Amino acid sequence: MGVEADPLSRHPGMGEAAMPAGTATTALPRPAAGAAPARWRGHLGRWAPHLVLWPPLLVSVLHVVSFTLYTTWISFTPSTLLPEYDWVGMQNYVSVLNSRNWKIASSNLLIYGAGFVLLTTVLGLLLAVLIDQRIRAENLFRAIFLYPMAVSFVVTGTVWAWLLNPAVGIQHLVRGLGFESFRFDWLVDREMAIYTIVIAGAWQASGFAMALFLAGIRSVDADLYKAAQIDGAGAWRIYRRVVLPCIGPIFIAVLVILLQFTIKTFDLVRALTGGGPGLATQLPTLVVYDLMFQRGLLGRGGAAAVLLLLYLLAVLLPYFAYARWRRRKEARHG
């Protein structure tokens, strides 16, 4: 890192557009430092900011870089309860990828991801359109739809576990009302348990999707609306033809956010099903945890963590490329 730079003697580069994360570009050459003559009084004044500026920046940069490299390294070693530093090549990866646990967790992730993203997006969009109908008590409705995001997944998972528990929850209630043959036992059904995670997850996150969609809908150019209305387009047609195309980029952002969310899901499953029944709701995050801290296989756990990171990158890298492409396109069109 170019510590030769003296931040104090540089022109502060303000006023440039805020750049979303992950778009670091190489710094352009700037006017050389030290144009102003250094005075004796300036020495402390010049160094003190460095002492404040660098430690937190370095700590956060170093922790990201070194932790990633370290876990990756561990994944190529035979480490069990404690780190060992012999090289075993791809052995951990082969054994993780061939394990039944990982295969089931990955296919669960696909089902959960598809169901959760679809349901959350549809619910979020529907709620946003409903809220956009010049309704009364808009703030109240928005607050109700968004409050689950303020609550811990542990709480969400615990409460949904009660509601979905056939012995005490919804099934029990409906049977008590006289519908003796009513069945809603997904929580303990190996085939259906994964969908309980979908329901609880969508309950928690759809308000957030709503907020993002609503912001998008309301940023649509007012003139476009008017033009469509003058053309005699009905409300449904306006949404389909004017609003949806305009919020395309928000759609993609919501999808990426929700996919990320899916891949990182951990607390919710721990509280709701614990990964069961059997392996029915096992997810890769739980496999990593299980390998590292329950079975004491740090090497394999590290390999599983790296695979998890690769899943995440498979979602994020295309998105960053797309975001970059869009920015360039917008820059070209002024």
Q: Which of residues 102-131 bind another protein (CB under 8 A)?
A: 123, 126-127, 130-131
Nearer to another protein, 179 or 293 (CB): 293
Query: How big is the site for another protein, counted in residues (CB under 8 A)?
Result: 124
Note whether 271 binds another protein by CB under 8 A.
yes
Note whether 180 binds another protein by CB under 8 A.
no
Nearer to another protein, 72 or 95 (CB): 72
Among 208, 269, 279, 282, binds another protein (CB under 8 A): 208
Among 119, 216, 275, 281, binds another protein (CB under 8 A): 216
Nearer to another protein, 194 or 250 (CB): 250
Contact 182, 96 (CB under 8 A): no
Among 117, 214, 280, 297, binds another protein (CB under 8 A): 214
Note whether 283 binds another protein by CB under 8 A.
no
Contact 86, 77 (CB under 8 A): yes
Note whether 36 binds another protein by CB under 8 A.
no
Nearer to another protein, 143 or 192 (CB): 143
Least Cβ distance, residue 87 to another protein (angstroms):
17
The residue written with tokens 């109240």 in the block is 140
Note whether 11 binds another protein by CB under 8 A.
yes
Note whether 207 binds another protein by CB under 8 A.
yes
Among 160, 198, 262, 269, binds another protein (CB under 8 A): 160
Q: Give the CB-side neighbour count of residue 120, counting CA atoms within 13 A.
A: 33
Among 35, 81, 222, 230, binds another protein (CB under 8 A): 222
Note whether 182 binds another protein by CB under 8 A.
no
What is the Cα–Cα distance from 281 to 105, expressed in whole angstroms?
A: 7
Contact 135, 246 (CB under 8 A): no
For another protein, the binding residues in 77-96 under the rule CB under 8 A are: 83
Q: Give the DSSP per-residue string, 121-179.
A: HHHHHHHHHHHTTT-TTHHHHHHHHHGGGGS-HHHHHHHHHHHH-TTTSHHHHHHHTT-
Contact 120, 251 (CB under 8 A): no
HEC per residue, 167-184: CCCHHHHHHHCCCCCCCC
Contact 280, 273 (CB under 8 A): yes
Least Cβ distance, residue 42 to another protein (angstroms):
9
Note whether 68 binds another protein by CB under 8 A.
yes
Least Cβ distance, residue 329 to another protein (angstroms):
18
Note whether 147 binds another protein by CB under 8 A.
yes
Buried b / exposed e along 107-116 (16+ C-beta atoms within 10 A): ebbeebbebb
Least Cβ distance, residue 61 to another protein (angstroms):
5
What is the Cα–Cα distance from 147 to 110, expressed in whole angstroms?
A: 27
What is the Cα–Cα distance from 292 to 296, expressed in whole angstroms?
A: 5
For another protein, the binding residues in 299-328 under the rule CB under 8 A are: 301-302, 304-306, 308-309, 312, 316
